[in-house]
Amino acid sequence: MAKNFDKITKKVEKMYKEYPYPSPSTQTRQTNELLNLLRIFELETKTQLTNLKILDAGSGSGHRITNVAKHFKKCDFLGIDISDTSLKIAKSIKEKNNIENIEFKKFNLMDSTLKLGKFDIILCMGVLHHLSNPQKGLENILQSLKKDGLLFLYLYGKLGGHKRMLNKKLISLLLNKEKSNYELGLKLVRELGLNKFEYGWNLNFKNKEEEDSLIVDSFLHANETLYEFSDIEKLLKKSELYGFCIFGISSDTDGFLFDTRINKDEKLAIPQTNISKSLKSQNLLSNYESLNLKDKCKVLDLIYEPNGYTVIGFTKQAYDEIKNERIKQNFIKLK
C-alpha cells in the first residue's frame, strides 16, 4: 500500500480516522440512499440483482452498504476502504446485524484492484472525487469489472457545490496556519452558522459527534474534485467503458431521476427532471429539442445546478442487456 500512499491520500486517511463518515456510531442507521438507488434501478430495468458479486469501492463506516447487503441477501459483497477506523465500525455493524454476505477489507484505491477479483457491479459512491488522482482511481477500479458489468458512481457537482466551496474557502482562510486543526474548524463552522447540509449530508444525526463527521466531510475535507457534465464525460472517455448515463442528480436537498426528454405535465411516481418547467414557451422547447444529447445534458446542468451526480457506466454487454427507455434515451456512447 505504501507505494501509492501519497501526501493527499495520507491526509484523507488521517481525516477519516478522526471523523469517520457517514457516522462514527456502530449502530445501524437509516442511510438508505444507496439501497433506494439500486431498488429504483431494479424497478426501471425490470431486472433482479441476485447471485451477483458486488464491490463497494470506498465503504466508509459501512452504514450504507450494510443496509444494501441486508436487502440483497443473494448477492455477495466486498467493501473496501482506506480507513482502519471506518472499517472497524463497518465490521461491528456487520456482526451486530448478523450480515453474512459481506466482507470488509482495507484497500487503497490508488492501487490496482486486480487482486480483489472480478465483480458484476462496482459501486463507488462519493469516493472517486476524494482521491489524489480520480482518473487513476477509476482506471484501477475498472480493472475489477466483468465484461458484462456495471459501474455506479456518485460525483460531487461543480455548479451546485459553488456556495459550499465558497464557505469552505472562507473557513480555510479563517483557519490561517491551522488548516489541519479540525477541532478549530468545527468551532468556526458552528459560529458562522454553516452547519446546514445539502443532499447527502442532511442525515439525521443524534449527537455532536455524529454532526462533527458530517461537518468535516462537507466543509473541512482534505481533498475533493467537483464535476459538471463535460468533466464527467472527459473522465469516463479515458476509461474502457462503452458509455454512460446520468441516472440521477441531487440539487440542494432534493434528488431527481435525470431525463433530457420533455415530460411536460406527465405525473411521475419518483421526482424527475422536467425541462418544460423551466423552458415554458414553445419556442424555447423547440430550440432545446434541436440540440444534440450532450448539449441537452448541459442545459439541464445549468438549470438544475446539481450538487451531485449518480452516474452509471456500462460495458458493451451490459448496455445491450438494458431495456429501459429512459436510460437508452439518455445514454452517452464513448466507444
pLDDT (0 to 100) of residue 282: 95
- pLDDT (tens digit, 9 = 90+) per residue, 271-287? 999 999 999 999 999 99
Give me the CATH number covering residue 82. Answer: 3.40.50.150
Does 211 lie in the same domain as 89? no
- State the Cα–Cα distance between residues 213 and 199, nearest whole angstrom: 15
pLDDT at 268 over 80: no
Taking all residues of the chain, what is their mean pLDDT, rounded to a whole number? 94
- pLDDT (tens digit, 9 = 90+) per residue, 18-68? 999 999 998 876 688 999 999 999 999 999 999 999 999 999 999 999 999
Range of the domain at 192: 162-219
Confidence of residue 203 (pLDDT cuts 50, 70, 90): confident
Does 121 lie in the same domain as 6? yes
- State the Cα–Cα distance between residues 22 and 252, nearest whole angstrom: 18
Confidence of residue 267 (pLDDT cuts 50, 70, 90): low
Does 193 lie in the same domain as 115? no
Of the three residues 156, 186, 206, the one that is the final residue of a domain is 156
Q: Are 152 and 123 in contact (CB under 8 A)?
A: yes
Confidence of residue 1 (pLDDT cuts 50, 70, 90): very low
- pLDDT (tens digit, 9 = 90+) per residue, 68-92? 999 999 999 999 999 999 999 999 9
Residue 111 belongs to a domain:
yes
Does 61 lie in the same domain as 7? yes
Burial of 121 (0-12, 13-18, 19+ CB in 10 A): buried
- pLDDT (tens digit, 9 = 90+) per residue, 289-330? 999 999 999 999 999 999 999 999 999 999 999 989 999 999
Does 185 lie in the same domain as 97? no
Residue 109 belongs to a domain:
yes
- State the Cα–Cα distance between residues 7 and 200, nearest whole angstrom: 27
